[in-house]
Chain A
Amino acid sequence: MTSAALGAVMLASACGGDDGGGANTGSAEPGEVEGSVTMWTYPVIADETEHRNFWDDTIAAFGEEYPNVDVEVEIFPWADRDQALSTAIAGNSAPDVVYMIPDQLPGYARNIEPIDGYLDDDAKADYLPNAIEAVTIDGEMTAAPILASAVTLTCNKEVFDDVGQSEYPETWDDLREMAPEFKDAGYDMFAYSGDVSQTLNLTFYPLLWQAGGDVFNDDGSEVTFNSEAGVEALTFLQEMVDGGYVSEDMLTSNPPVEQTKLAQGEVACEWHSEGKNLVEFWGEENTVILPPLTNAEQIAYGTVGSLAMLSSADDKDAAGAWISFVTEAERAAEYDEASGFLPVKESTGSLYEGDPLLGEAEKYVDLTTVGPLTEEAREVMGVLAPEIQAVLIGEKEPQQALDDAAAAAEAVVR
């Protein structure tokens, strides 16, 4: 998004309170806000007890400020969360507030109450620009960001030491040059998670963006992944797979991570999951977080976790007050530290300075994007991912596969 467009978004955000249909809590005193709020969230903090305690403490603190609002936080598993949420919405039993990432927001946009009117201007102005951008659809903030991540390149130092390579890759060309050396030493240069259940935001799209391409055109009316940049990205991937430099065990399936060559220390690098997830397999001393790869562009995927209010919420003022309270800079920072995610507020500054993992990841947040924010983005992934697989298993050429996917996507985007 251009800076002008971002400015418009910020302006719309700032004005949201005045035209938000009278639901703004800004004028209401905390004691005047009444009602009950149910929030659904997921294991953002991996340790269940710690997660539960965080929310119990937060509810208690909120209760002191808003004595007439009852809050219940329910923690569900990540798996099948969309099915559970969509069924609940259809059955009129949806929660008032739910944790969402940008990938989900367009699909639920019709069911979401814009949050602009419930956050005060200072809180909105304190957000990092890319956090606001990640939750803004049609000029309105659909959710209040609470955390971020940067999924950049991660490499295994032990593998590099064993191969005798002291430099880490920075570009596609570096990968091309280093790959034969690693292959000769019995290592794969990188792992590519090609299973269709894997979001392309973490796998192919970073390559597409690095090649200078994008998934959709500016207004989202047509797909553009079959551009020259798209072909270049997929050709690079094909070339590396055909050369025997990419782990085969993850190309078409999604085995449990501990069973993969990646976890077993037989792969040099990856960019489809955060480096912190590999520490238990590689050890902290061997997990090296690096900047996003560069080709035409230097860019990677990063998510923004946020709290959205559903339009079916009975007590919108109470739900808005809860979201505003939870996403306040200091409290959000506590949540970020407990969960190992990155802050989304300017005023928080650096949370992990000196930390070899999160401290490094934190440096590259500005080089990340959350991926396409259109309602059809997921369905387009659904038609594109199998075509990419077809290239990786040698059944199609990149141009043909991308053109076939684009033709199938036409019916989706129309």
Chain B
Amino acid sequence: MSVDTLPKARQRYRWREARIALLFVLPCLLLFIAFRFGPAVAGGVLSFTDYTIGADTNWIGLENLRRLNEDPLFWRALRTTLTIALLAVPLSILMSLGMALLVRRAFRGSKLFRSIFFLPVITSLVLAGIVFTWIFSEGGPWTSVMGWLGFADRAWLSDTTLVIPAIVIVAVWGRFGFGMLILLARLQDVPRELEEAALADGAGAWQRFRYIILPELKPALFFLAVIETTFSFQIFDTVYVMTGGGPANSSYVLVYQLYDQAFRYFDFGYASAIGLALFVMTFIVAMIQRLTLGRER
């Protein structure tokens, strides 16, 4: 074998390997293009049209975006969505982290606890929303407990101020199990000898967490921050079931407005513009998170 033929043979081998890999990935890639990427691009294009059912579609340029800018309901829905995200994302991550640390070590029943904590993730949020509607209703358990604790005995979902915390509670309840699982997996990779060495050197629990565990968790926390932010921006089902966007639009979120415009008023062009705004917003926040949380990865 000559010196020249070796790299060529290797290249051919690599190319063959790549083709086989592509063959395996292809079905998934096609599905992704058909059901994710394609509709996303189509939605982006629709946002520059006046598309509605059964009528001619016209290219209207930036008209829908101009309308968004002048729509007070859009700005209100945006504020509400951001408020929910600002409350739910840190709370969900903190809750996930706390639970992951609690069930990290094996103890009697730890697997049971992990399963129980994960249960809300696989529970339908629509069903959970119905149950939570009752829990937060006038005379419901939550309202009663708040009454015993000296707070006003009023239905949270009928109060323009308390309705957002109620939705955040349900959102965090439904998500922390997923975050716990991600962090738990990462925690398994934290070298035990490092912690033991720190312990031998007299490091306290906080110091071990701050200087050993937290740096190891950073990639997972970045991932969670992005996922939870996206989830919070897309919140809809619990709001739809629990409040219908009320009272007086105080829990009306962006995806709810998108849904209304598309499926109640059939204004698909405007609904797509809301979707586009949501995408841009999510993208910007993810980039900011990447520049801050993700930079030391």
A residues at B contact (CB < 8 Å): 80, 82-83, 86, 89-90, 107-108, 110-111, 195-197, 248-249, 251-255, 259, 311, 378-379, 382-383, 386-387, 389-390, 393, 395-396, 408, 411
> B53 to A252, Cβ gap below 8 A?
no
How far is A252 from B162 in the complex, measured between Cα atoms in Å?
Answer: 14
> B133 to A408, Cβ gap below 8 A?
no
> A382 to B264, Cβ gap below 8 A?
yes
Interface membership of B252, Cβ < 8 A = yes
Query: Which residues in window 67-99 of B have CB below 8 A to A?
Result: 67, 70-73
> A386 to B246, Cβ gap below 8 A?
yes
How far is A390 from B157 in the complex, measured between Cα atoms in Å?
Answer: 14
B residues at A contact (CB < 8 Å): 53-55, 67, 70-73, 133-134, 137-138, 155, 157-160, 243-249, 252, 260, 263-268
13 pairs from A and B in contact (CB 8 Å cutoff): A110-B53, A111-B54, A195-B246, A196-B246, A248-B138, A248-B158, A252-B157, A253-B157, A254-B244, A259-B134, A382-B265, A386-B248, A389-B246
| Chain B interface, >50% SS class | loop
What's the nearest-Cβ distance from chain A to residue B67, in Å? Answer: 7
> A389 to B248, Cβ gap below 8 A?
yes
Residue of B nearest to A254 (CB): B244
Choice from A248, A251, A379, A386 contacting B265 with Cβ under 8 Å: A379
Residue of B nearest to A312 (CB): B54
What 4 additional pairs, Cβ within 8 angstroms, besides A90-B53, A108-B53, A248-B138?
Answer: A82-B263, A107-B265, A253-B243, A393-B159
> B247 to A378, Cβ gap below 8 A?
no
Chain B residues with CB under 8 A of A89: 53-54
> B138 to A111, Cβ gap below 8 A?
no
> A386 to B266, Cβ gap below 8 A?
no
Q: Give 10 nearest A-B pairs by CB, closest first.
A: A390-B248, A111-B54, A252-B247, A110-B54, A386-B249, A389-B248, A83-B263, A252-B158, A379-B265, A197-B244
> B71 to A411, Cβ gap below 8 A?
yes
Number of CB contacts from chain A to chain B under 8 A: 85
Chain A residues with CB under 8 A of B252: 386
Choice from A110, A111, A253, A396 contacting B244 with Cβ under 8 Å: A253
> A108 to B54, Cβ gap below 8 A?
yes
> A110 to B245, Cβ gap below 8 A?
no
Chain B residues with CB under 8 A of A110: 53-55
Greatest chain B CB density within 10 A among A86, A89, A255, A411 is at A86
Greatest chain B CB density within 10 A among A82, A253, A387, A408 is at A253
Chain B residues with CB under 8 A of A255: 133, 137
What's the nearest-Cβ distance from chain A to residue B66, in Å? Answer: 11
How far is A25 from B254 in the complex, measured between Cα atoms in Å?
Answer: 48
How far is A386 from B157 in the complex, measured between Cα atoms in Å?
Answer: 14
Given A253-B158, A386-B252, the answer on whether A86 and B263 have CB atoms closer than 8 Å is yes
Choice from A80, A107, A393 contacting B248 with Cβ under 8 Å: A393
What's the nearest-Cβ distance from chain B to residue A231, in Å? Answer: 18
How far is A68 from B215 in the complex, measured between Cα atoms in Å?
Answer: 75
Chain A residues with CB under 8 A of B247: 252-253, 386, 389-390, 393
Chain A residues with CB under 8 A of B265: 107, 378-379, 382
